[in-house]
Amino acid sequence: MSDYQYMLLIEDIKKSLKQNKNGSLTHHKPTDIKIDILPFTTKRPNKAVRERFPHILSEFTRLITKVKLEEDKIAETQVIGNPILHNLIAEVEHENDDIRFDLERFLNDFLYENDSNIKPFHPYVYNFLNFSDKNRMSQESSYAQFAKDILVGRDHNLQSLFDKNEGEDILISLVLDNLKSIKPDEEVKKIKYTSMLNIVGTMFQKDLLYLSKHKDYFLQHYPLLVKYYFFLYVSQLALKLEQFTNADYDALTPLYFGLEWEALNKRRNAASDISSYKYLKDKLPNLFVHRQTLLYLSMNNISEEQDKVMSYLEINNALNDGKLEQRNSYLDDLKSWIQQYVELTNINIELTESEKFHDLAQQLFTCLKQGMNSDACKKYGESVEDAASSFLKQRGSLGYTLNLTQDFLLLMVAVCVKEERMPLKQLFSELENRGIALDRYSQKEVIDLLDNLNIIDKKSDSGDAQYVKPIL
């Protein structure tokens, strides 16, 4: 028995559990696992995306461009009447104070929003939208790092999208040259969040690169594209984890959206209990339990990456591809850990025998769900609702449904179609590839809208002979 090699590191897992005075357990992230799957917390209702997304987006951009803020110069980009304005005015000749006043007012209107944040009049400016306050910097930084890791990764060719370019007009060049509150970040950033859905990041990068070819449209819609793909990833991950080892990580599970201007009833797909926002929301309290289950299951000796969180499917494949004795040892350890957890928490559950990883993973999940604080699980899942906030509409007794505004719809049509016209049926397929399903009523509304905007190219009255033209 002394030669037995534990494949599931049970003693290390136990160290992540904290016994509370009332006998309950607090479930922490095991210290040996440096990489997580989500940036969410259980401490408070989360409104980071809803209220502070510009600051998340700016840090996300800085991570892409490999720059960081210079703390002593941050205020220059935030306060009306700041040194940027004075530096700009000092470089422009003016005959009297009246002209100076008019110039300052013009530059102030050109540079700043009503809330004193600098306007993104050039892609480079997205580096300068600062954190909202120091108390929230950690959370915003975590969200930005998460978005960078799962949408962009380590190797990418997006950095040049936010460069200062030659040939800009004189005013823009002058302003950009006076934005000096960032500097190169020489630190090599480690991946802190593992991507389990690489398909989402691949699509995001393709869509962003296409959008960047159309500067004005890019400036207006870059935030919306990032915000949607952020929501797409977290919502899809929640759905995939519910399927345990049966999940297909190479294809998305589209959810039904309704169009903002159409009426819905309870018989419509977007308002139903299946493949809708309601279906997703019902699963969200399980997300924290899944995360903790995977943290424990990933504390193993079957993977060379000891600090990585593995999906159910990855663990199952590793067990099936490895040696039989290692697989059996891991499953024996897993059954032992389930039994020990039941004893530690005094939960009332009947354990069933199985030699299948899928069954045992489900059993551990069920035990953890009973042993974890339900309020903490609820708050953790509400972070996905926060990420969905820009894509929801309250529809009376139907509750919230996923929602496509005209602007968001046209953005998605633009990135689906890109440069070449596309058959109408393929457009709806491409939307589904990006997580957006439309029932036949919504599809008709989309066709009518595109037709009114002269975006549909009709070769005949047949639906098969209708094409969607590039928007941009």
3-state secondary structure of 26: strand
How much is the pLDDT for 102?
A: 84
Q: Can you tell me the mean pLDDT for 120-149?
A: 82
Residue 341's pLDDT band (cuts 50, 70, 90): very high
Residue 246's pLDDT band (cuts 50, 70, 90): very high
Q: How many CB atoms within 10 Å of residue 387?
A: 24
Contact 119, 25 (CB under 8 A): no
How much is the pLDDT for 154?
A: 83
Q: What is the DSSP letter of 311?
A: P
Please state, for a pLDDT cut of 90, what percent of the chain lies above it.
67
Contact 33, 307 (CB under 8 A): yes
Q: How many CB atoms within 10 Å of residue 80?
A: 10
Q: Can you tell me the mean pLDDT for 272-282?
A: 96
How much is the pLDDT for 134?
A: 56
Please determine, for residue 232, whether its predicted confidence score (pLDDT) is greater than 90: yes
Please determine, for residue 223, whether its predicted confidence score (pLDDT) is greater than 70: yes
Q: Can you tell me the mean pLDDT for 329-340?
A: 96
Residue 356's pLDDT band (cuts 50, 70, 90): very high
Q: Can you tell me the mean pLDDT for 428-453?
A: 97
Please determine, for residue 177, whether its predicted confidence score (pLDDT) is greater than 70: yes
> Using CA atoms, how far apart are residues 220 and 98, in angstroms rounded to an integer?
33
* Contacts made by residues 453-460, CB under 8 angstroms, sequence distance 24+: 455/413, 456/424, 457/421
Please determine, for residue 360, whether its predicted confidence score (pLDDT) is greater than 90: yes
Q: Can you tell me the mean pLDDT for 194-208?
A: 97
Helix (H) or strand (E) holding 423: strand 422-423
From residue 242, alpha-carbon distances to 149, 247, 271, 288 in Å are 23, 8, 21, 12
Q: Can you tell me the mean pLDDT for 4-19?
A: 86
Which residue has 């095991």 as its token pair?
30
Residue 333's pLDDT band (cuts 50, 70, 90): very high
Token pair for 443: 């599809």
For 203-222, what is each residue's pLDDT tens digit? 999 999 999 999 999 999 99
Contact 273, 267 (CB under 8 A): no
> Using CA atoms, how far apart are residues 337 and 9, in angstroms rounded to an integer?
9
Contact 64, 152 (CB under 8 A): yes
How much is the pLDDT for 115?
A: 58
Mean pLDDT estimate for the chain: 89
Radius of gyration of the chain (CA): 26
How much is the pLDDT for 328?
A: 93
Between 304 and 352, the higher pLDDT residue: 352
For 53-70, what is each residue's pLDDT tens digit? 999 999 999 999 999 887
Q: Nearest 5°: CA angle at 433, between 154 and 58?
A: 40
Residue 464's pLDDT band (cuts 50, 70, 90): low
Helix axis angle, 287-297 to 312-321, nearest 10°: 30
Please determine, for residue 82, whether its predicted confidence score (pLDDT) is greater than 70: no
Contact 232, 151 (CB under 8 A): no
> Using CA atoms, how far apart are residues 191 and 153, in angstroms rounded to an integer?
8
DSSP characters over 209-255: HHHHTSHHHHHHHHHHHHHHHHHHHHHHHHHHHTTGGG--TTS---E
The verdict on pTM exceeding 0.85 is yes
Please determine, for residue 121, whether its predicted confidence score (pLDDT) is greater than 60: yes
How much is the pLDDT for 81?
A: 47
The distance from CA 142 to its chain's CA centroid, rounded to whole angstroms, is: 11
Which residue has 């600098």 as its token pair?
118
How much is the pLDDT for 166?
A: 63
Please state, for a pLDDT cut of 70, what percent of the chain lies above it.
91
Residues 6+ apart with CB under 8 A from 334: 8, 297, 357, 360, 361, 364
Residue 392's pLDDT band (cuts 50, 70, 90): very high
How much is the pLDDT for 103?
A: 82
For 416-427, what is each residue's pLDDT tens digit? 999 999 999 999
Please determine, for residue 287, whether its predicted confidence score (pLDDT) is greater than 90: yes
Please determine, for residue 75, whether its predicted confidence score (pLDDT) is greater than 70: no
Length of the chain in residues, anyone? 472
The residue type of 223 is P
How much is the pLDDT for 91?
A: 73
